[in-house]
Structure 1
């Protein structure tokens, strides 16, 4: 669901997304947003900082 990913990317909580999607469990939110959430964690931040492309202005 694109809306769930848009919401998670814009700071909505799991509960807010669950309500908006009409889902009974937070697991559905987790399933739909897993790829968006994968880029938002300490390991992803570290990889971005240490990537050879991190200092390349052309990589944006």
Structure 2
């Protein structure tokens, strides 16, 4: 193997395994739910954008 191929493989492996130890606090993920204010604001924004799309697409 060439040196740059070895370095590239090592770099990619490091990137792929960097998030293994990451974890969020309880309630996040598919098993549990809890909300933050920014989550609610995001859903409100999506709703407003959907209403605006319907409003402006009327004939």
Structure with larger RCO (C-alpha < 8 A, sep 6+)? 1
Greater per-residue helix proportion: 1
- Greater Cα radius of gyration, structure 1 or 2: 2
- TM > 0.5 between the two? no
